[in-house]
Amino acid sequence: MTNFLAVERALRTAAPYDLYPAVRAALVEHYGALRVDLLLADYSSKVLRSVAAGPGGGEQLPVHGSPQGRAFESREPLQIVRHADSVELYVPVAAHGDRHGILSVRLPEEKDPPHVVDEIVAIADVLGHEILVAERDTDVFLQARRASRLTLAAEVQWNLLPGRACSRKEYAIGAQLEPAYAIYGDNFDWAETEKSLTLSVTNGMGEGIQASLLSSLAVNALRNARRAGVGIADQAALADQALFAQYRGEQYVATLLLSFDLDTGRVEVVDGGSPQMWRHRGRTVERISFDEQLPLGMFEETDYVTEDFQVEPGDRLIFVSDGVFAALSDKGEAFGERMLARAIQAARLLPAAAVPRAVLRELSQYLNAGPGPEVADDALVLCLDWFGRDVRS
């Protein structure tokens, strides 16, 4: 434990840009590590890139098919690869369930007793939280995530997001946007209190920077209203007013807004447009429809009303934008409800964080776009696994 505390101290005191050199030096000094590498997942979660290589350099390891990628996507806290006289650990680096990448540590054979392995898993967890804080002050980690250059619109959109995953005892969330390096108007957001989870899925009009600016105004208007402490119907109404004041109805944002009661599983919903919600309960996959109201910003001073539904422990909710269910193949055939239901069913054994990428792979293959999630239009997939809360505890 003394070694762990020394590495933790090195991470806590390192400059934001110096986290990787600090953890590498500390692991060599206190654990006798032969090699240390920090690999971050790129924006599309298709490859892992070494921070040591710097912007645009170094080898890219595929997430789908490499040992490091299996560790990144696995439910397990690490994968171990044994060599003749050493052992290599691949440990997910995460913060609150959002995996940034993999910490790869090679140790001499005699240096991997169980307590050492457990300590390195804990070090990776500390590193994940430190990266989250460091990204406020340095571009080192954001640059390492780029397999290619982001468009300006994509830069705006990614800066709006709360993350790509989040896990608590009551739920787990995973989400992905494609095309990751050129997204326009799709977005998602979430926020939790002790009693509730608020979730929004938005689909803005247009393309390029105009679409991203529209979504930016919508997301920030919803956040401003949420942080004022009002309910989701009023959140929608206030965001609607902000958008109409700016665009006078010429631009608007389709939005699905939900508030989950963490004690009871009761959910309030405002459906303002095209994002769809699907439920996987037991062996049944079905679309859950609500009374569709006007998109935010279409008309002045629209009144919004909520609907209720109930989630049960074990439920999986999937949210998709029209770039998924309405995407057309090269034959002009929509991905549609049948293919979407099949993709959701096929991902049933995956954790929530891995489901969006799996669904987008199915979409990509249907569109004949190759093995990875590359799509022509904005495509958003968000998965929420509901575990519930034992209120007696």
Q: Percentage of the chain surpassing pLDDT 90?
A: 77
Residue 381 CA to residue 379 CA, distance in Å, equals 7
Is the overall model pTM greater than 0.85, yes or no?
yes
In this prediction, residue 306 carries a pLDDT of 97
pLDDT digits (tens, 9 = 90+) for 306-355: 999 999 999 999 999 988 988 888 788 889 899 999 999 999 999 999 99
Of 59 and 321, the structure prediction assigns the larger pLDDT to: 321
Q: Where are the strands (E) in the chain, listed by range? A: 35-41, 47-50, 60-62, 79-82, 86-95, 98-108, 165-167, 171-178, 186-192, 196-204, 253-261, 266-272, 276-281, 284-288, 307-310, 316-320, 379-386
pLDDT digits (tens, 9 = 90+) for 145-182: 999 999 999 999 999 999 999 999 999 999 999 998 98
Q: How many CB atoms lie within 10 A of CB 195?
A: 11
Q: In sequence order, what are the residues at sequence separation of 6 or more whose Cβ sits closer than 8 angstroms to the Cβ of residue 369? A: 375, 376
- Residue 331 burial (C-beta neighbours within 10 Å; 0-12, 13-18, 19+): exposed
